[in-house]
Amino acid sequence: MEELDRRIVQLLARDGRLSYTDLGKATGLSTSAVHQRVRRLEERGVLRGYRAVVDHEAAGMPLTALISVTPVDPAAPDDIPDRLRHLTEIDSCFSVAGEESYVLEVRVGTPGDLELLLARVRAAANVTTRTTVVLSTPWEDRSPLAAGESAD
């Protein structure tokens, strides 16, 4: 990736609402040149979308947990992600190497909510679970392209 494209991605990773004019000022490119580069980055799949960053605590879901899941029957079809897709408390589903098949990142309001979610996960996907509760999150969603960048 060209250095200018990398810079545009870094800037948009920090603030996806930057205008083409602001991106141009930060990169030394014209507004139309930035627009073309952003469009090409989108077409190539480097930029896949723009989203709001939610403060989960303010939204009433302060508890984050990582749930490792292992099929009860290893010979069963590997359809765990499809079986769990309807559970809206699951933010991410990662296929992993190791003893477990998947690790789920979940957000819930209380420990009781987590307990209920674990029962729903086990029932929906016929899996065993191992859960890690997150105590704090010093940082997250850091793009490798933005490594070394300071947050102004």
CATH assignment of the domain containing 83: 3.30.70.920
Same structural domain for residues 72 and 39?
A: no
Q: 152 in a domain, yes or no?
A: no
Q: 65 in a domain, yes or no?
A: yes
Please provide residue 43's backbone torsions phi and psi, each rounded to the nearest 5 degrees.
-60, -35
Q: 151 in a domain, yes or no?
A: no
Q: What is the CATH number of the domain that holds 15?
A: 1.10.10.10
Q: How far apart are CA 36 and CA 20, in angstroms?
A: 10
Buried b (16+ CB within 10 A) or exposed e, 2-29: eeebebbbbbbbeeeebebeebbeebeb
Distances (CA, A) of 88 to 84, 92, 102, 104, 144: 9, 10, 17, 12, 27
Query: Is the CB of residue 40 less than 8 Å from the CB of residue 34?
Result: no
Same structural domain for residues 23 and 89?
A: no
Q: How far apart are CA 11 and CA 147, in angstroms?
A: 12
Could you tell me the pTM of the whole model? 0.79
Q: 50 in a domain, yes or no?
A: no
Count of domains observed in the chain: 2
Q: Count Cβ atoms below 10 Å from residue 126 Cβ, excluding itself.
A: 13
Same structural domain for residues 34 and 70?
A: no
Domain region containing 66 = 57-133
Residue-wise pLDDT for 88-143, tens only, equals 999 999 999 999 999 999 999 999 999 999 999 999 999 999 999 999 999 887 76
User: Could you tell me the pLDDT band of residue 151, with boundaries at 50, 70 and 90?
Assistant: very low
